[in-house]
Amino acid sequence: MSGKEIMETRSGISRRGIYVTLTIVAALIAVFGYLSFEWLFCRFYVPPGYMAVVTAKSGREPRAGSILVEEGEKGIRREVLAEGRHFLNPIQYDVEIVPAVSIPLGKVGIVTAKVGRELPPGEIIAPDRESKGVWRDVLGPGLYRLNPEGYQIEIADAVNIPVGYVGVVTSQTGSEPAPGNFAGPGEKGVLKDILQPGLYYLNRYAYQVNVIEIGMNQVTMSAGSNESVVAARTRLNSANDALGALEAQTLNFQNEQRLKTLKRAVKKTSAASRKQAADNITQEAEIFGVSRAVEFPSRDGFKVTLDMTVEFELMPGNVAKIYLLYGDLPQVVEKIILPQVLSVSRMKGSSYRAQDFIMGEGRETFQHDLRQELEKTLAGKNIIVHNAIIRNVEIPLNILSPIRAVSLAKEQNLTNVSMQETAKKLAELNIETQLIDQRRREVEQETKKLVAQTGAERDQAVAELKAETELAVADIRLKRSEIIARTARLKGETEVKTKFLVKNEEAQGELLKAKALGGPGKLGDLKLVESLNPKVETRIIYAGPGTLWTDLKNGALPLPASRPE
């Protein structure tokens, strides 16, 4: 390859390198510019508890009448953006940051969809979440992000059933069930299952909850106007002090419904009845009150008027059926209990004479028969009767006066007899009191005698015990002295015997030692030697045959000649 070709090759390579370098630089500038544009102009932040509603300025045209659009379409997007950092081109999108829906504890969120399929005419509850209308299911406590352009959320109170009550649920949408039957799935009417005490998140547009008292209730009929009015119970309002705000809200709503019913009933009554009913509504009587006493003719043709209180109970398992057939508790009282009480009272009362209602036994018998008949009659309607109490019996004065006079005469006679019996008992009591006093004095004397006798016996026993104790002590001391004497004697004898044995053994030892040395004489010599002063020195000097001289330094002692063996 020539030099020219080499130069051209190098020049081409250099140009390509420049082009690549310029391309990379341009790409980096473009990327940096894009990222800077995104970061500076497209970035936005959704704080906690908020959401972003996005509107696309460009895209496909949505269907006619659409409020919310999907991604790629022009308009307000269905999906909202949650909290956090997001990037959208402000040229293509508008962003509106709005608060998310927060549902507190004890509340529910009722959602009304503005988008979706149209509902049939007259329907408001959406069958699913793809249709317009009110969603059947509610939103519980929490934070929710639904596009406010397409969904409206109404925050309402949850239903709190207090203790002592149950809730009867009525479905407000659907097809009509067979008459007298509970509503099934998809049907409109009273549901079989009741709500026990507790907190429930229900849609008030889909379900209505009526709070019904369970346990003991009362209805009282007393003299007044000829119209029948049932007063509201205080227990609904008085519960506000003891229950929370949700319970109070539920009970107050139920109370308002009952008061509306009462006011509608009052408008149909006379002026006197309206006044009496207004007083009952204002005062909110503690029991159901009926402004009419029970009236019926007696067996002997006289008019008998009496006040009556009936105690009854609705069992939780029967409340739904009772509500389905008769309605709320005041309606049950007015439609079922009152007519039965009046009917049974007239039927049973017409078999008694007027004076039987004044005498205690006849009145008690009538009350017993009335209660049994009411129990039997209302049991078939799932209402338990516990008692029927008769008060304030009134009969015509022309029959009441002679009966009262006869009763007074009988009572006076009984009073006189009782006074005689009382005087007799008083005399007997005085005699018994004197006898008791006499007996008390006798008991006191006997007690003193027993105390003195017991004291003497005690002193004698103490003296005898003391003498026996001293004798026992002397005997113990004598025995102790004898023991000490025996101990000393035994001790002396023991010491003598010990010394004798020791000396005897020493003598035996000396005897054995003498025998060992060859005789007592040698033992004596040994003893003499042992008794010498250790400083004495002995020197033996040989002076010739037949002669032995001993030189004693400190003295001379004759030494006996040894005898031949």
Boundaries of domain holding 356: 207-395
Asked if residues 49 and 100 have their Cβ atoms less than 8 Å apart, the reply is yes
Q: Tens of pLDDT along 515-528?
A: 777 777 776 777 77
Within a domain: 213:
yes
Domain boundary among 59, 77, 98: 98
DSSP string, 376-407: HHHHTTT-EEEEEEEEEEE--HHHHHHHHHHH
Instruction: Say whether both 221 and 93 belong to one domain.
Output: no
Do the Cβ atoms of 52 and 44 come closer than 8 Å? yes
For residue 340, being part of any structural domain is answered with yes
Report the 10 Å Cβ neighbour count for 164. 13
Judge whether 167 lies within some domain: no
Mean pLDDT of the region 81-90: 86
Decide if 250 is inside a domain: yes
Residue 336: CATH number of its domain? 3.30.479.30
Domain boundary among 366, 395, 424: 395
Asked whether residue 139 is assigned to any structural domain, the reply reads: no
Sorting pLDDT into bands at 50, 70 and 90, what band is 398? low
The pLDDT tens digits of the residues spanning 454-503 come to 888 888 888 888 888 988 888 898 888 889 988 888 888 888 888 888 88
Task: Please tell me whether residues 219 and 92 are part of one structural domain.
Answer: no
- With bands split at pLDDT 50, 70 and 90, how would you rate the model's confidence at 277? very low
The predicted pLDDT at position 102 comes to 92
Residue 111 pLDDT greater than 90, yes or no: yes
The count of domains in the chain is: 2
Q: Is 308 exposed, middle or buried (0-12, 13-18, 19+ CB in 10 A)?
A: buried
| 170 lies in some domain | no
Please check the confidence at residue 225 and state whether its pLDDT lies above 80.
Answer: no
Strand partners, 155: 109
Q: Is residue 417 part of a domain?
A: no
What per-residue confidence (pLDDT) applies to 109?
94
Q: Is the pLDDT of residue 176 over 90?
A: no
Do residue 357 and residue 227 come from a single domain? yes
Are 91 and 212 contained in the same domain? no
Give the percent of the chain with pLDDT over 90.
6
Last residue of a domain, which of 395, 426, 447?
Answer: 395
562 found inside a domain: no
State the pLDDT at residue 144. Answer: 92
What would the pLDDT profile of 24-74 be if each residue is shown by its tens digit?
A: 878 887 777 767 767 777 888 999 999 999 988 888 888 877 788 888 888
Same domain, 219 and 363: yes
